[in-house]
């Protein structure tokens, strides 16, 4: 089987990581087209060790013979072009937030809810969750299977890479500038990010929650269980790459630490690193370039009858974005929805 595919946003961080991941996993592509929003093009991106792709402009692109498209260029590009691609018969894997909450578009993390991909036949669009929601779903799903999670409280710690290259540059420039007493002002974030924490990811709504916080709560219901009640607080942290979260869960029945360890140890996509000693857990700096969701600090929450708390962390661009998208594409091929 050979598949003709396109990557929209190929020059961005997520797009480049998708191309790298496709090559690493030997995805059965007969042709790979790199696209950038607008009329622009002409740049070059790497695909595998020995191929260079010339980037084409997205405006007016003919989707007629494209089997599969990854959209990694933001919400505006997805809103404008993904439906046009799907109407032409292309299966779309969208990394933006545009389609996540639409009821007839599956929101998928393969380790949590791959079976819902069959619903993509109608719209021909599959949505990817936000990086924190996807990470938490991978860790929570095996625990939900043994205890049925009723309520989750999530504190998401968001790396600056989730806000783009300019945000990463701002963290670097502020960090360097502080040492010479010449820190540049905040432009990408509402406050200084270097040596600081910002309790805001996205715009704050009338109810006091940001779009990201509301999204995590809704996405977990779609990924794990529609009856799950969740609340999230999102904090931007001075970390370049690596999403992390603390999660407190209330289950329908008691789930012991030993049961949780056993479920997590056998769970796909999870690496359990939970030694009850100093440094017996993973951190963002240690998981850069890794594919797994690392889980640790598993312990009872004694404030509720059936409570459990844990820590999880993953690479923002790998499982938080590109790897998940490619895994979804592999499942679409396996289910004969592509190709």
Helices 257-265, 131-147: crossing angle, 10 deg rounding: 120
- CATH for 158: 3.30.360.10
Examine the domain organization and report whether 30 and 138 are in the same domain. no
Tens-digit pLDDT string for the chain (339 aa): 689 999 999 998 899 999 999 999 999 999 999 999 876 667 889 998 889 989 998 888 899 899 999 999 999 999 999 999 999 999 999 999 999 999 999 999 999 999 999 999 999 999 999 999 999 999 999 999 999 999 999 999 999 988 888 999 999 999 999 988 887 888 999 999 999 999 999 999 999 999 999 999 999 999 999 999 999 999 999 999 999 999 999 999 999 999 999 999 999 999 999 998 888 999 999 999 899 999 999 999 999 989 999 999 999 889 989 999 999 999 999 999 987
Q: Are residues 159 and 277 in the same domain?
A: yes
Cβ burial 217-243 (10 Å sphere, 16+ → b, else e): bbbbbbbbbeebebebbbebbbbebbb
The verdict on 24 and 116 lying in the same domain is yes
pLDDT value at residue 181: 85
Is residue 339, in this structure, part of any structural domain at all? Answer: no
For residues 179 and 236, membership in a common domain is answered with yes
The tokens of 141 are what? 């799903």
Distance CA(44)–CA(54), nearest Å, equals 5
pLDDT at 186: 87
- Write out the H or E segment, with its range, that includes residue 277: none
- Is 112 found in the same domain as 146? no
9 and 57 share one domain: yes
Q: Are residues 162 and 286 in the same domain?
A: yes
Residues 330 and 93: their CA atoms lie apart, in Å, by 11
**Residue-level pLDDT at 163:** 86
Is residue 246 located within the same domain as residue 327?
A: no
**CATH number reported for the structural domain that contains residue 94 in this entry:** 3.40.50.720
pLDDT of residue 198: 97
Residues 144, 225: contact at Cβ < 8 Å? yes
Point out which residues pair with 271 in neighbouring strands: 294
- Answer yes or no: do 124 and 136 share one domain: no
pTM: 0.92
- 83 and 202 part of one domain: no
Q: Are 263 and 172 in contact (CB under 8 A)?
A: no
Domain count for the chain = 2
Q: What pLDDT, on the 0 to 100 scale, is given for residue 164?
A: 84
Q: Are residues 105 and 137 in the same domain?
A: no
3-state secondary structure 90-149: CEEEECCCCCCCCCCCCECCHHHHHHHHHHHHHHCEEECCCHHHHHHHHHHHHHHHHHCE
Distance, CA of 213 to CA of 204 (rounded, Å): 9
Q: Contact at 8 Å (CB) between 273 and 280?
A: yes
Same domain, 325 and 285: no
Q: Which residues contact 229 (CB under 8 A, 6 or more apart)?
A: 150, 151, 152, 217
Q: Compute φ and ψ for 321, nearest 5 degrees.
A: -155, -85
Q: Is residue 189 included in any domain, yes or no?
A: yes
Give me the domain span that covers residue 160: 132-316
Q: Measure the CA dihedral 23/28/29/30, to 10°.
A: 130
Compute the radius of gyration of the chain from its Cα atoms: 20
Token pair 């869960």 is found at: 249
Q: Taking the CA of residue 193 as centre, how many other CA atoms within 13 Å lie in the half-sphere pointing to its CB?
A: 28
Give me the residues paired with residue 215 across strands: none
């Amino acid at each position: 089987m050979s598949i003709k595919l396109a990557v929209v946003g190929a020059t961005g961080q997520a797009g480049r990581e998708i191309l790298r991941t496709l090559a690493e996993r030997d995805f059965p592509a007969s042709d790979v087209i790199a696209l950038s929003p607008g009329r622009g093009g002409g740049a070059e991106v790497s695909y595998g060790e020995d191929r260079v792709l010339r980037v084409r402009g997205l405006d007016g692109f003919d989707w007629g013979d494209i089997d599969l498209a990854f959209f990694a260029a933001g919400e505006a590009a997805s809103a404008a072009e993904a439906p046009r691609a799907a109407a032409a018969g292309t299966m779309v894997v969208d990394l933006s937030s545009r389609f996540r909450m639409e009821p007839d578009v599956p929101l998928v993390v393969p380790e949590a809810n791959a079976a819902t991909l069959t619903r993509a036949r109608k719209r021909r669009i599959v949505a990817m969750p936000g990086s924190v929601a996807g990470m938490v779903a991978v860790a929570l799903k095996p625990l939900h299977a043994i205890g049925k999670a009723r309520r989750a409280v999530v504190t998401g710690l968001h790396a600056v890479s989730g806000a783009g290259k300019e945000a990463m540059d701002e963290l670097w420039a502020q960090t360097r500038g502080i040492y010479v007493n010449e820190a540049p002002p905040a432009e990408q974030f509402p406050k200084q990010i270097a040596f600081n924490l910002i309790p805001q990811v996205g715009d704050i709504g009338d109810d006091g929650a940001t779009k990201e916080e509301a999204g995590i709560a809704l996405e977990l219901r779609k990924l794990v269980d529609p009856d799950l009640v969740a609340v999230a607080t999102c904090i931007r942290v001075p970390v370049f790459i690596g999403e992390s979260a603390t999660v407190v869960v209330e289950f329908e029945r008691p789930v012991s630490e030993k049961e949780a360890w056993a479920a997590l140890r056998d769970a796909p996509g999870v690496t359990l690193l939970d030694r009850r000693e100093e440094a017996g857990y993973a951190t963002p700096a240690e998981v850069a370039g890794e594919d797994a969701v690392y889980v640790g600090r598993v312990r009872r929450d004694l404030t509720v009858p059936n409570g459990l708390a844990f820590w999880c962390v993953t690479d923002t661009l790998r499982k938080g974005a590109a790897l998940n998208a490619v895994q979804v594409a592999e499942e679409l091929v396996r289910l004969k929805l592509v190709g």
